[in-house]
Amino acid sequence: MGVSTFFPAEVMTQAHREFVATLTPPPAPLLDIVVIKRTLRRELAQHDELLLALAEAFPGHRVRVFTAEGHVREHAQLFYNAAAVIAPHGAGLRNIIFSRPGTAVLEIGYSCSAVADHPLELQASKLNALLGGCWFETSYHSMATALGHRYGLLLGLGVMFDQMSVGNNFAQISVSVEEVVTLLQQLLHS
């Protein structure tokens, strides 16, 4: 597992106020849909297809791709201007600390079945299945909720690098583009 991103709500809201105090106010209404592009681990297999589907489904919005390049101030402004953030599970989601309350945050995770046949994860997967849970860190849900965002989670299927991969080191996450669009429509209109 990665480093926990959970902080008490008071800490996150204070950090949010201090981070965004010097940013340029976004246009009203907020029209940017930010899609975080990961590479190497947990990359969306349908990333390009998703961008096209979002542009078609939300013609009044701008679809922006975040790759973690550039200065942190540019990152902050991008997320501050976002009406929605879509991202595979990972550290890029920490940038929602810059987003305004009410931002739609759609995290794309991976299902337990993705690791069920892996020899090193078999017992953990069986235990999680018995407990009705999924071996999946939920700290971004906690963060989004504390910051007043509208949060949704869609589970895709993780594809391993090889049989020696452990934990959440998936090469890609495969997800239904139609489900992403539908859930985002619900989040934006809730």
Domains of the chain from N-terminus onward: 9-188 (3.40.50)
DSSP strand pairing (43-44 vs 170-174): parallel
- Predicted confidence band at 169 (pLDDT cuts at 50, 70, 90)? low
Give one DSSP letter per residue of 122-187, joined into a string: HHHHHHHHHHT--S---HHHHHHHHTT-EEEEEEEEEEESSTT--TT-EEEEE--HHHHHHHHHHH
pLDDT tens figures, 150-164:
999 988 877 655 544
pLDDT tens figures, 106-155:
999 876 544 444 443 444 444 444 444 444 567 888 889 989 999 999 88
pLDDT tens figures, 41-94:
778 889 999 999 999 999 999 999 999 899 988 999 999 999 999 999 888 999
